[in-house]
C-alpha cells in the first residue's frame, strides 16, 4: 500500500503572533462588554429583590391598617418626630428586622443616595438626621428608612444592603404610601408634601410596567 503524500500547506498552523493578536482582540472586547453585562444582570437581581420587598411592604401595610386604620387617621406631619416614631414602630412590629436605628443614627442605611442619571448625591446622612427619620435593616439585608409627610409617608429601600452603587433606580427604590394606605407616585394628587423628582418614581413605574425597566 502506497502512503499518500501530505500537503504541507494544509498543515500550516497559526503563528504565536497571530494567536496573541487574537487573544488581545478577545480581551479588549471582553473588557468593553463585560461591565455592561454584569451591570444588566445586577439590575435584574435588584428588581427581583424589589418585588420581594414590595410584597413584604404591601402585606405589612395591610396588617397595620387592619389594626390602626388608614394613615389619614394617624395624625402624620412632615418632619414631625412623633409622627416619624409612630410610623416607624408600626412597621418594625410586623416586618422581619435585624437592626433598628433611631433618630440621628444613620448607620442602618448606606448614605449618600445617588442619582441614577448623573451620580449626584440626592439624600445624605446629614439630611436624614435633620429630617427626623428612622431606619432599620431587614433579615434579608435590605436597608430601609421611613420619611413621614403630611398624611402620607415614603419608604426608601436599598435592596442590596450596603453594596454599591446606592443609586435611585438601580439598588435604591422609593415607594410613596398615601393617606389611604395605597402605593402611589410621588406627584400623585392624593398626597401632601411629595417630591417631584422623577427618579423617586422608578419603583412605581416598574410596578406598573410589569417589572420591566423603561428608564
Per-residue pLDDT tens digits for 99-137: 999 988 999 999 999 999 999 999 999 999 888 899 999
Can you give the pLDDT at residue 25? Answer: 74
The pLDDT of residue 89 is above 70: yes
Sorting pLDDT into bands at 50, 70 and 90, what band is 4?
A: low
Can you give the pLDDT at residue 178? Answer: 96
pLDDT above 70: percentage of residues in the chain: 84
What pTM value is reported for the model? Answer: 0.83
Mean residue pLDDT across the chain: 89
The pLDDT of residue 174 is above 80: yes
Kindly report, residue by residue over 59-88, the tens digit of the pLDDT.
999 999 999 999 999 999 998 999 999 999
Neighbouring CB atoms inside 10 A of 22's CB total 11
As a whole number of angstroms, the distance between CA 141 and CA 97 comes to 9
Residues 6+ apart with CB under 8 A from 74: 68, 83, 86, 87
Can you give the pLDDT at residue 39? Answer: 76
As a whole number of angstroms, the distance between CA 157 and CA 24 comes to 42
Sign for the CA dihedral angle at 47, 196, 105, 114 comes to positive
Region 181-200: mean pLDDT is 87
The residue among 4 and 213 whose pLDDT is bigger is 213
Residues 6+ apart with CB under 8 A from 139: 96, 97, 98
The pLDDT of residue 203 is above 80: yes
Amino acid at each position: 500500500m502506497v502512503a499518500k503524500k501530505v500537503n504541507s500547506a494544509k498543515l500550516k498552523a497559526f503563528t504565536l503572533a497571530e494567536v496573541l493578536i487574537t487573544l488581545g482582540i478577545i480581551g479588549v472586547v471582553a473588557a468593553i462588554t463585560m461591565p455592561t453585562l454584569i451591570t444588566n444582570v445586577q439590575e435584574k437581581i435588584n428588581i427581583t429583590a424589589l418585588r420581594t420587598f414590595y410584597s413584604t411592604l404591601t402585606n405589612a401595610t395591610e396588617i397595620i391598617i387592619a389594626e390602626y386604620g388608614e394613615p389619614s387617621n394617624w395624625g402624620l406631619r412632615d418632619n414631625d418626630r412623633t409622627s416619624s416614631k409612630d410610623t416607624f414602630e408600626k412597621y418594625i412590629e410586623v416586618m422581619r428586622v435585624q437592626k433598628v436605628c433611631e433618630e440621628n443614627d444613620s448607620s442602618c442605611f448606606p448614605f449618600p443616595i445617588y442619582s441614577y442619571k448623573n451620580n449626584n448625591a440626592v439624600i445624605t446622612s446629614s439630611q436624614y438626621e435633620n429630617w427626623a427619620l428612622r431606619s432599620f435593616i431587614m433579615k434579608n439585608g435590605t436597608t430601609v428608612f421611613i420619611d413621614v409627610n403630611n398624611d402620607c409617608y415614603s419608604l426608601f429601600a436599598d435592596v442590596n444592603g450596603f453594596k454599591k452603587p446606592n443609586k435611585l433606580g438601580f439598588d435604591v427604590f422609593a415607594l410613596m404610601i398615601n393617606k389611604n394606605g395605597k402605593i402611589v407616585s410621588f406627584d400623585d394628587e392624593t398626597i401632601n408634601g411629595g417630591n417631584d423628582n422623577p427618579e423617586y418614581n422608578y419603583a412605581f413605574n416598574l410596578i406598573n410596567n410589569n417589572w420591566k425597566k423603561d428608564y
